Structure 1
């Protein structure tokens, strides 16, 4: 089973670029038209724009591909914010999946998944991955897949 948020990720990325274009276009238009009290309008627009950008950075949107195959559970993710990192991947053998942590941060708007793998040296912890860009139905599917794999090991 594969879960991905390709369409939603494309809309999020497009909204970053479109929002920036609209903000800059309106700023240039207001300066060109010599509107009175332009500083108040530009200040309000800037506060709104940067507040939305900072809020979306706190949500830490990711392009997610979650796959369950016969042997592995694979979680691939790519940050969607403008200052993005590299594409990252977590591959865990279904037999070595120890457990997972699911934390809801920022008033439940940013769910984070942390996977743990049983190794010969102990339990390995992977970095937390934000799942805020996938739908609630897909989050439930991810939880169900992980619970099923943990229960089948016991």
Structure 2
């Protein structure tokens, strides 16, 4: 099973940058027309827009379950500078537990994978599933719980 949100992550990235570009052009026009208050308010709106995207932490996700292993690749959809590509791969039998953490009235969902290691139990950093649609989120949840039942 392969679940990927590449189209949605790309759309979110475009939305972020196009909206930012429109706000920047509008702000410049307002400054040139000597409408400083409107320009400053537009700048403040852009800052809020930026922090919303950072808070929701939209990520590209590729979730693969094969016969004997789980592979999860992810990186931030909107990132300035160098992208941080991350990948998690482990055998199905090493999965110890999963946690789905929801905040902001269920708008933000994070996945935490807990695996068995030679030294005990280890917890991977949380992965944002916010940019994954609810049907795919449900499939991920069901497939991970199914592996835990084995």
Q: TM-score normalised by the shorter chain: which range applies?
A: over 0.9
| Alpha-carbon separation, structure 1, partners of 2:3 and 2:9 | 13
Stretches of 4+ aligned residues off by more than 3 angstroms: none
Task: Determine which of 126, 129, 136 is the counterpart of 1:128.
Answer: 126
Q: Match of 1:78, SS? A: strand
| Alpha-carbon separation, structure 2, partners of 1:11 and 1:100 | 28
Max Rg structure:
1
Q: TM-score, normalised by structure 2?
A: 0.93
The residue number in structure 1 matching 2:145 is 147
Q: TM-score, normalised by structure 1?
A: 0.91
Q: Cα RMSD (Å) of the superposition?
A: 1.3
Deviation sequence 1:20-78 (CA, Å, 0-9, x none): 2111211222233x25xx12211221222211110111000100000000111111101
Instruction: Quote the offset at 1:92 in angstroms.
Output: 1.7
The residue number in structure 2 matching 1:16 is 16
The residue number in structure 1 matching 2:98 is 100
Gaps of 5+ in 2: none
Q: Is the 8 A contact 2:59 2:76 kept in 1?
A: yes
Task: Determine which of 40, 45, 52 is the counterpart of 1:43.
Answer: 40
The residue number in structure 1 matching 2:6 is 6
